Amino acid sequence: MSTGLLDLPRRAAGGRLLRQGLVFLLLLSACRARQTVQPPEPAGQVELPKPAWVTGRPVSSADYIGIGIASKTRPDYQETAKKNALNDLASEISVQVEGNSLLYTLDRKYKFDEEFTSTIRTSTQERLEGYELVDTYESGSEYWMYYRLDKEAHARAKAARKQQAIDQATDLYKRARAGLAAGDLRTAFDLDLRALVAMKDYWGENDLVPIGERSVPLANELFNDLQRMAGGVHLAVLPERCALDWSNRFRRELLITASFAAGGKALPQLPLIIGFPGAEGKVNESRNTDADGRARITIQRVSLAAAAPEAVVELDLKALVSKDIDPAFTAPLLGSLAVPAVHVPIDRLLPKVFFTGHERNLGQVLGNDPLALVLKEELTAKGFRAVDRPVDADLVVEVVADTRPAGESSGFFTAVLDETIKVIDRRSGETIHEAGKQGIKGIQLDHGKAGMDAYKKAAQEVRAEVVPALLNALFQ
């Protein structure tokens, strides 16, 4: 066999290998062709040059300028920049408090709270309208906004608002005058207060406004009018001293009359507060005068601990203010007004008391009457007067008590005390109060001593329970 014939199988195998390699290379090329080519990384954003208004604050004779800046780390940086810009714009608007203006008077004469006067002083600055956005600028970390407001346009808008407030306040003031002339101080006070609040943006100014035949600084005039109304209220009380004693059961009605100036027109529906020291703390009662300018109040259950008790009748300024008026403005104003008040002394004359009864221990009369003695000590310490004859008394206190044996155990003897206490109106014979307790135990080495031990326990209960209940019954 020739050599060429022997090489044929080797050549066939080599051809197959060659073809397989070519196929692999073609598949590899196809896969690479299908892969997405990644674009190059973009270059960093180029920061724009800062505009001139960022590097140097603009100056304008025609416009107010407001520039605000905020860090872009804040989620609301755009809104914050706008707020800062408008605050900056408002700060350019000069608000000068004029001498003799209401705000000047409140600040100097009445020493109003600084926060209150500051709020009023800046109120005009908060009324911005007609401003426009000029430009914005943004860096990698900050956001800037530039606003402007035409000075002439702002002045015109402010003048229009001011005239509207003056017209409203003037109308309210005239209606208040008419209401007061008719005796309706409540309505007049409310109208004047509303007029003053309507003018609050201009309390720092001192413009004269024609009212009838006069020219008056309106805000000052309104405030002075409130003072005149409050100070002009005249309160009279009958009786001038409030006497409380057993004959009137420690109750006395006071008649209150309200007028504008002494002997002037009666003031109907005028709110009043009447305060006095009550047995359970300070009492404050509200009353409105009737159509004739009168009100009535009953003084009762007055504290026995008060050193110099009195009833105070005064004008309730807060009740003159409608709930829809912002108290942030009215409370300091009311605090500067003088409140008319009448002080009525309360004279307490406590009853004269005669003590009687029978107190025994195991049926034997006790000479010192221990329970009656405790009652006498407690009541006289509170102002009651003890007398020696029943005919001189307003009240008779009758104490009946006795002990009885209740057994013996291990050498200790028990006695129990039964007691009754009555308080009687001497003139009518009516029982005012009655108290009693059965079976108060005493334990000692014999029944007699046990009985006295029961009396000691009963005396403690008289102080702690019987006397307070008796006082409550007398003064309820």
DSSP track, 117-178: HHHHHTTGGG---S-EEEEEEE-SSEEEEEEEEEHHHHHHHHHHHHHHHHHHHHHHHHHHHH
Domain boundary among 171, 200, 232: 232
Is the omega angle on the peptide bond into residue 239 within 30 degrees of 0, that is, cis? yes
Residues 272, 222 share a domain: no
Supply the range of the domain harboring residue 107: 59-153
Q: Tell me the C-alpha distance between 431 and 268, whole Å.
A: 44
Higher-scoring residue by pLDDT: 35, 361: 361
pLDDT confidence band for 398 (50 / 70 / 90): very high
| Mean confidence (pLDDT) of the chain | 86
pTM of the predicted model over 0.75: no
- When mean pLDDT is compared across 57-61, 197-201, 225-229, the lowest value belongs to 197-201
Residues 409, 370 share a domain: yes
> Would 10 be classed as within a structural domain?
no
> Would 134 be classed as within a structural domain?
yes
Residue 466: CB partners within 8 Å, gap ≥ 6? 375, 421, 435
pLDDT at 2: 40
Interval 463-473 mean pLDDT: 93
SS3 of residue 242 by DSSP:
strand
pLDDT at 41: 43
Higher-scoring residue by pLDDT: 360, 21: 360
> Would 1 be classed as within a structural domain?
no
Residues 307, 363 share a domain: no
Residues 129, 180 share a domain: no
Residues 143, 66 share a domain: yes
Residue 450 maps to which CATH number? 3.30.160.180
Domain total of the chain: 4
Residue 294: CB partners within 8 Å, gap ≥ 6? 255, 256, 257, 258, 266
pLDDT confidence band for 36 (50 / 70 / 90): very low
> Would 13 be classed as within a structural domain?
no
CA 263 to chain centroid, in Å, comes to: 36
Kindly state the percentage of the chain with pLDDT values over 70: 85
9: left (phi over 0), alpha (psi -120 to 50) or beta: alpha
pLDDT at 110: 59
Residues 175, 128 share a domain: no
Residues 169, 95 share a domain: no
Q: Of 194, 207, 197, which Cα lies nearest the Cα of 100?
A: 207
Residues 315, 370 share a domain: no
Residues 110, 93 share a domain: yes
Residue 296 maps to which CATH number? 2.60.40.1940
Q: Tell me the C-alpha distance between 474 and 461, whole Å.
A: 19
pLDDT at 102: 80
pLDDT confidence band for 235 (50 / 70 / 90): very high
- In 368-461 the beta strands, taken as DSSP E runs, fall at 385-386, 395-409, 412-425, 431-444
Contact 128, 89 (CB under 8 A): yes
Residues 305, 193 share a domain: no
Contact 321, 271 (CB under 8 A): no
Question: Could you read off the pLDDT of 103-158 as tens digits, one per residue?
Answer: 777 776 655 555 555 555 555 455 788 899 999 999 989 999 999 999 999 999 98
Higher-scoring residue by pLDDT: 195, 15: 195
Residue 24: pLDDT over 70: no
Question: Could you read off the pLDDT of 249-282 as tens digits, one per residue?
Answer: 999 999 999 999 877 899 999 999 999 999 889 9
Domain boundary among 89, 124, 153: 153
- When mean pLDDT is compared across 31-45, 243-257, 395-409, 423-437, the lowest value belongs to 31-45
Angle separating helix axes 370-381 and 447-461, nearest 10 degrees? 20
Residues 164, 98 share a domain: no
Residue 289: pLDDT over 50: yes
Residue 88 maps to which CATH number? 3.10.28
> Would 460 be classed as within a structural domain?
yes
Kindly state the percentage of the chain with pLDDT values over 90: 67
> Would 41 be classed as within a structural domain?
no
Contact 53, 146 (CB under 8 A): yes
Higher-scoring residue by pLDDT: 142, 22: 142
pLDDT confidence band for 428 (50 / 70 / 90): very high
Residues 411, 304 share a domain: no
pLDDT at 30: 47
Interval 157-164 mean pLDDT: 91
pLDDT at 1: 38
> Would 12 be classed as within a structural domain?
no
